[in-house]
Structure 1
Amino acid sequence: MKQYLRGFLSFSLGTWFRAIIGFISTPVISYLIVPEEFGRASMFTLVYNVALLFSLLGLDQSFVRYYYEKQDKSETFWNCLIPSVVFGMGISVIFILFERPLSVVLYGKHYRWIGLLFALSLLTGILQRYNQLSIRMQKKGILFSTLDIISSLGNFGGTVLFVLTLSGSFYAIVLGQIVGNISALIAGFLADRSSRKFAKLNINLLRIFLKYGLPFVPSSLLYWLFSSIDRISLRQYSTFTEIGLYSAAFKIVSVMQLLQSGFTTFWIPVAYEKYELNNDSKEFFKKANTMVSAILFVAGIFVLGFKDLIFLLFAKSYREASYIAPFLILYPIMYTISETTVLGINFSKKTHWHIVITSLSAIANFLGNTLLVPILGARGAAVSTGLSYILFFILRTVIAKKYYPVDFDLGRIYLCTLLTITVAAAGTFVKNYAFYGILCVLVMLAILLIYRDAFSYIKNQLRKK
């Protein structure tokens, strides 16, 4: 287990530096860009994400799945990258040709150059996806973290530069993202050239990759819909200012999302390699699930406990977002824990189940947003999204166990989930700071007691290290 803790820490270095950069940059940007422009940037990101999903054709998932099975890593890399780039170029042309109607649908009016910005974001996003994956699958944790840091610094620096030189509109946020992608791409190529020697397309190999990867396109699209219904509903029933506050509320859980990103980045190659070497590794997966669950629940309550203090760093116009954030904490918690329980679906290559799971979760989220957003606005969207991710976790876990039964300690997970919901509800609807603070402390102590064996193990390992 020590080697896995070391591996996780090496992949997480970038995560924590990103958290520090985000902690500094987000309040700074909140003083430079108004919530309404944050809302417009959020809508841009929605369209960008769905275009990226179509462009990848699920081949990024094939790259991960077959990386350890194929001897020629360069051939695997290029047979996944080239079709994705070609398809992405086609989508980019559509963005440029239909710039005006796309802009009108998103924003109600035409924003010049928006099509070109979509195209640049998409193509750099595709290249950056494979840039990171190549390094990730080689388990070069320090290099991976370095690229994370370079991307974050480029993003922040580019955004501030464009705000100061052009305008405080959402263009600056988009351009900052492109600068971050390009910075990481250059660094990754220079550091990892030996693993990317050009290889021609192999039709038979591509056919295998597409057969595995294509089912991820509808499931990923449904997941995009599932995770975007909140902002789509706010766009329909509310204003760009509310969307901006909702986007700012996500910043409060950014530390948790970085934990999620750091863990899943490290976990996927480790899990596949462990399974390929010994497909009877159930005790290992159970222990990993216990450790991850314990850390995430404690971290989630800790972040919620300090949410009001954190938002004091933001511009005054963003302070209301502190009452939107609490239920959103369930998203990174439940998603990350589910990454340790969903393995049976991926090991058995029954990827069609991802479509079923995401569809049911998306329907639940749609119904919740339709009911709550007109009444509670952004707070309603947060409540619906958080609860939907609990359903997402349950479905992933139950179905995966049918194909690869692992005796996860689900009783503790459900109990801690209920405690987290209690804190989130108080943080959303109660403005008595003393009561809320006491509740956070009591729930934190309860979780530490529930997972005392896990924290005792972690403490001993750190002490030995």
Structure 2
Amino acid sequence: MEKNLLKKFMEYGVGSIITLLLGFITSPIITRLISPDENGRFSIFNTVTNLLMLIIILGLDQSYVRFYYEEEEDNRGKLIRNCIKAPLILNLIAAILILIFYNRVSLYIVEEKSLAIAILLSLNVFFTILSRFALLQVRMKQRGKLYSLLNIITKIVNLIFVLIIFFVYKNNYMTLILAHIATTIIVTIIAIIIEKKEWTKKGNRKLKTTQKEIVKYGLPLVFSMAVTWVFQSIDKITIKEFSGYAQVGLYSGAMTIISLLNAVQSTFTTFWVPVAFERYSSNPDDKEFFQFINKIVTIVMLVIAIGLITCKDIIVLLLGHKYREAVFIFPYLVFMPIMYTISETTVLGINFKKKSKYHIYIAIISAIFNLIGNIILVPKFGATGAAISTGLAYIIFFIARTYFSVKLYNINYGLYKFTVSTILVYILATYSSFYRFNVVIAILALINLFVIGTLYKDTLLQLIKIIKNKVKF
């Protein structure tokens, strides 16, 4: 691993660590201010926002990522403008429809007729789209320090707004909604101002990528991402329908813990996507590089999962007494960022070969599995049932991503080692979802660590040599 590559990762990593630490400070404050019931309403608001954004964006954010390095540096500003134009027009149409049917929309989200909720939803979708492209632009330029700074600003500014707005609304979902939108607006404006040259640069040449190619690559992903939304959001929707907002709030409380792990996921994905495309563009036969990264990420993510599951009783104390039952929810939810992050190193073939249709197959398989699982388990186990289903669905998600990718770009990822390790972590998560910390959990955790260390011994030794500069990679 070249020093330059390691340096880039550290730029993202330092920001991730700071964001993680800030999460341990901000999350407990917010969960102590806002009840599970109100937190549940905010969670549904975000779930609806994500659905609208995924449909409106037309997959053109992924087109931007895919064709970024195929364009001359002076023309990349033109590329981002071409990609964002259609989503902004569609957002205007969606906003009009939301305002026309605001009664139904607001009733579904918060069980109240509210024009304000409809307006805020429209604003949130608009600025989320802008934020998506603004942060993608920073990522693709591989500006790790700036990206990390923006994440840190997001955490701090959001907490400040929550505290200020709370004194107006007290324990109310509006506190979280207004704070979230205000934070998104500020961070987006900062990102665009800092990179204003990229946004305003006209470019002297015609784009190598035609508008038809941009749409052709992104459009199939609309259905894929809509199904992905079902896959990722059916848990909250099912809990709302069968168990109510309080259970959604508890589930969201558990997700607050998982979102801290998402900081690690986001850091790696942010760093990895442009690096992987750049590496493939310059040397498509260098499969050893992708194998090594996969093994390192697997070790790190599985060890983090074991640590979180083992320490669940301590971690949940941070959320406050109203969220104590979340201790039995989040062990399975750990598989969300774990499987997603590792799959980012095995999904390469689909993206390299521009076979975006496979993302549709993957999303459908995962969504159907999660839908059936939630319908069966949530009525009986509530939020814990949703966590069980979602955890399993993400394992299916990993399997499907890897299977289709290897068909297109064959890499030996050593899946036997991964399978054994995952089964052991799953056994630990299963036991921990029904019991508080005890001797059995401690023993299972130690067994997990020993087996992973043994299976991946060669990879760990190679990493040590690379760090000591005894070997170049």
TM-score (norm 1): 0.96
Which residue does 1:138 correspond to in 2?
A: 141
- Deviations along 1:106-146, one digit per CA (max 9) or x if unpaired, are 33332340011101111111111111111111111111111
Which residue does 2:182 correspond to in 1?
A: 179
Distance in 2 (CA, whole Å) between partners of 1:316 and 1:204 is: 55
Alignment of 1:155-194 (within 5 A): 155-194=158-197
Cα deviation, residue 460, structure 1: 4.1
Q: Is 200-209 or 435-444 further displaced after alignment?
A: 200-209
Alignment of 1:49-448 (within 5 A): 49-71=50-72, 72-199=75-202, 205-431=210-436, 433-448=438-453
Cα deviation, residue 459, structure 1: 3.7
Q: Name the % identity.
A: 36
Preserved contact between residue 56 and residue 126 of structure 1 (Cα < 8 Å): yes
Q: Assess, with a 3 A threshold, how the Cα gap between structure 1 residues 36 and 182 changes in structure 2: closer, same or farther.
A: same
Q: Is 42-51 or 1-10 further displaced after alignment?
A: 1-10
Distance in 1 (CA, whole Å) between partners of 2:425 and 2:248 is: 24
Preserved contact between residue 79 and residue 205 of structure 1 (Cα < 8 Å): no
1:341 alignment partner, SS class: coil
Q: Is 434-443 or 110-119 further displaced after alignment?
A: 434-443
Cα deviation, residue 60, structure 1: 0.5
Preserved contact between residue 358 and residue 392 of structure 1 (Cα < 8 Å): yes
2:344 alignment partner, SS class: helix
Q: Which runs of 5+ in 1 are unaligned?
A: none
2:334 alignment partner, SS class: helix
Q: Assess, with a 3 A threshold, how the Cα gap between structure 1 residues 253 and 114 changes in structure 2: closer, same or farther.
A: same
Q: Which runs of 5+ in 2 are unaligned?
A: none
Preserved contact between residue 150 and residue 183 of structure 1 (Cα < 8 Å): no
Preserved contact between residue 252 and residue 307 of structure 1 (Cα < 8 Å): no
Q: CA RMSD in A?
A: 1.8
- Deviations along 1:187-235, one digit per CA (max 9) or x if unpaired, are 2123212222254998983222111111111101111100111111111
Distance in 2 (CA, whole Å) between partners of 1:440 and 1:288 is: 24
Verify: 1:33 aligned to 2:43, yes or no: no
Q: Is 201-210 or 219-228 further displaced after alignment?
A: 201-210
* Matched AA of 2:415: L
Preserved contact between residue 60 and residue 218 of structure 2 (Cα < 8 Å): yes
Distance in 1 (CA, whole Å) between partners of 2:373 and 2:445 is: 26
Distance in 1 (CA, whole Å) between partners of 2:26 and 2:467 is: 31
Preserved contact between residue 226 and residue 362 of structure 1 (Cα < 8 Å): yes
Distance in 2 (CA, whole Å) between partners of 1:204 and 1:17 is: 38
Which residue does 2:49 correspond to in 1?
A: 48
Preserved contact between residue 97 and residue 115 of structure 1 (Cα < 8 Å): no
2:148 alignment partner, SS class: helix
Verify: 1:4 aligned to 2:5, yes or no: yes
* Matched AA of 1:307: K
- Deviations along 1:220-268, one digit per CA (max 9) or x if unpaired, are 1111100111111111211111110001111222232111111111111
TM-score (norm 2): 0.94
* Matched AA of 1:166: Y
Distance in 1 (CA, whole Å) between partners of 2:264 and 2:154 is: 17
Cα deviation, residue 385, structure 1: 0.5
Distance in 2 (CA, whole Å) between partners of 1:434 and 1:111 is: 51
Distance in 2 (CA, whole Å) between partners of 1:17 and 1:154 is: 14
Preserved contact between residue 252 and residue 303 of structure 1 (Cα < 8 Å): no
Cα deviation, residue 327, structure 1: 0.5
